[in-house]
């Protein structure tokens, strides 16, 4: 994902280190609207766990959520695709819209720190 060069366009922050602490810090700074859900999910799924196995799934989910939220234009595009799919009356149109949104979600999860 490239950063925008224009003064009008926001700069898309790079992805943080792939740790819960670094991801939370990035969310706090660049996508604070995600923070209440991130913290609630952490508390529910991880904080009191004796087994750290769920951390990988937690990070995969929130890595993708943050990657999308840090780019408001792309986030709006994906939400629009999902909204249009929910309103579509044609099965094939709805499927195509959801497939496009899904591809973007998967691309976001594959980003590496610094990208």
Count how many residues are written for the chain.
Answer: 115
Q: What is the mean pLDDT of each run of 10 residues along the chain (115 residues)?
A: 51 96 98 97 88 91 97 97 98 98 96 96
Give CA–CA dist 97/22, Å, rounded: 32
pTM listed for this prediction: 0.84
């Amino acid at each position: 994902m490239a950063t925008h060069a224009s003064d009008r366009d926001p700069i898309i922050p790079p992805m943080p280190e792939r740790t819960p602490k670094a991801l939370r810090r990035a969310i706090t700074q660049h996508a604070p609207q995600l923070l209440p859900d991130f913290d609630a999910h952490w508390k529910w799924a991880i904080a009191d766990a004796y087994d750290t196995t769920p951390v990988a799934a937690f990070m995969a989910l929130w890595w993708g959520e943050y990657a999308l939220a840090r780019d408001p234009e792309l986030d709006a595009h994906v939400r629009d695709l999902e909204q249009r799919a929910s309103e579509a009356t044609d099965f094939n149109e709805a499927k195509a819209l959801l497939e496009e949104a899904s591809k973007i979600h998967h691309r976001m999860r594959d980003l590496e720190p610094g990208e």
